[in-house]
Amino acid sequence: MPHASGAWARRPFLGPMITSLISMKGGTAKTTTAVNLAAYLALGGLNVLLVDLDPQNFATLCLGLDVQTLIPLQNPRF
């Protein structure tokens, strides 16, 4: 695994990027991959937004947030 100061970190900024991990099958490590990818990119100095739409809130729990204290969106518009 390259270090955050590796060659990939010196590439020119090409603009925002949206990445999705999608599979209808359960147990395929989608959330684990998303959390680890987000952490890796953030450690590399990039701004990362990880959206957890899973009803089990596992990505939120992996980030150390207490689900019970979060304020839910009122009338979310997706």
Domain ranges of the chain: 30-66
How do the pLDDT tens digits run along the chain, 78 residues long? 445 555 555 556 677 888 888 888 888 888 999 999 999 988 988 889 998 888 888 888 888 888 788 777 666 665
For 44, phi then psi, to 5°, come to: -80, 5
pLDDT given for residue 62 in this prediction: 86
DSSP 67: G
- Tell whether pTM > 0.85: no
pLDDT given for residue 45 in this prediction: 85
Q: How crowded is the C-beta side of 31, counted as CA atoms within 13 Å?
A: 15
pLDDT given for residue 38 in this prediction: 92
pLDDT given for residue 37 in this prediction: 92
